[in-house]
């Protein structure tokens, strides 16, 4: 099987999901967080993936589940200690993703100085769309991200407003984690995040390039 095929089947071959927090200043502000001076990283297990036809499940004990639409970068070639000018050579493609967040779990963890694992890594916390060929997004620093809940637009932003752009993030992450083909890098969410409840339907898109739709139910 070719490397290209493996990348397109990242759900099967990817070993990890690395996420960037607070990568849009307006999003940091809406949650009352300072704008970071360097990327904030956290991980999701690959069991967090959920695809079209399945549902997002509110984890047990969660009373505040939030949506966060993001551009996902699918790694195409192994990246370790990569220089920023060479970073895009390691991109295999892209995917539209949601970073579902149990906000009440996260707030409690932050108060206690504990990890965000439960808040960010529960089953179905990473809904994704179809694999997007690299050629369809020639400039990942200028694409629209939007999200609606029950047809009501909640998020409408552009990756040009990211604090740390895609090449910088790949280079930075590769200094600490070796990125392998099929791994997914989530690049952060624009402002407008908010709660969803059982029965809601989320629809999101990268411009008109790719869209996803997921309903919400309680686990």
The predicted pLDDT at position 11 comes to 93
The predicted pLDDT at position 33 comes to 83
Give the integer Cα–Cα distance in Å for 139 and 207.
13
CB 186 within 8 A of CB 72: yes
Residue 83, domain extent: 3-218
Query: Which of 26-40, 80-94, 110-124, 182-196 has the least mean pLDDT?
Result: 26-40
Task: State pTM to two decimals.
Answer: 0.96
How would residue 199 be classed by pLDDT, with cut points 50, 70 and 90?
very high
**Of all residues in the chain, what percent carry a pLDDT higher than 90?**
90
What separation in angstroms does the CA of 90 have from each of 33, 134, 166, 167, 188?
31, 11, 11, 10, 19
pLDDT at 175 over 90: yes
Considering its fold, how many domains does the chain have in total?
Answer: 1
Cβ burial, residue 20 (10 Å; 0-12/13-18/19+): buried
| pLDDT tens profile 117-163 | 999 999 999 999 999 999 999 999 999 999 999 999 999 999 999 99
Give the integer Cα–Cα distance in Å for 165 and 60.
35
The H or E element containing residue 121 is helix 117-121
pLDDT at 34 over 90: no
The residue-averaged pLDDT of 103-111 equals 97
More confident residue, 7 or 13: 13
More confident residue, 6 or 29: 29
Give the integer Cα–Cα distance in Å for 172 and 24.
17
The predicted pLDDT at position 180 comes to 97
What backbone phi and psi angles, to 5 degrees, belong to 201?
-125, 125
The H or E element containing residue 66 is strand 65-67
| pLDDT tens profile 67-84 | 999 999 999 999 999 999
How would residue 218 be classed by pLDDT, with cut points 50, 70 and 90?
very high
CATH number at residue 95: 3.90.850.10
pLDDT at 39 over 80: yes
The residue-averaged pLDDT of 12-24 equals 95
């Amino acid at each position: 099987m070719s490397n290209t095929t493996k990348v397109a089947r990242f759900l099967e071959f990817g070993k990890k999901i690395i996420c960037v927090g607070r990568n849009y200043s307006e999003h940091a502000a809406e949650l009352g967080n300072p704008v970071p001076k360097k990327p904030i990283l956290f991980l999701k297990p690959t069991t967090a993936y959920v695809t079209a036809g399945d549902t997002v499940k509110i984890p047990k004990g969660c009373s505040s589940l939030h949506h966060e639409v993001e551009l996902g970068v699918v790694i195409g070639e192994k990246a370790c200690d990569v220089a920023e000018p060479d970073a895009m050579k390691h991109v295999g493609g892209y995917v539209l993703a949601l970073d579902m967040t149990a906000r009440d779990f996260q707030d409690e963890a932050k108060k206690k100085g504990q990890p965000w694992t439960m808040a960010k890594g529960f089953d179905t916390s990473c809904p994704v769309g179809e694999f997007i060929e690299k050629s369809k997004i020639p400039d990942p620093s200028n694409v629209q991200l939007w999200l609606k809940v029950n047809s009501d637009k909640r998020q409408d932003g552009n990756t040009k407003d990211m604090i740390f752009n895609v090449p910088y993030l790949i280079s930075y992450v590769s200094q600490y984690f070796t990125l392998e083909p099929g791994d997914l890098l989530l690049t952060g969410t624009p402002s407008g995040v908010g709660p969803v409840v059982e029965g809601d339907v989320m629809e999101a898109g990268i411009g008109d390039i790719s869209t996803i739709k997921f309903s919400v139910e309680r686990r």
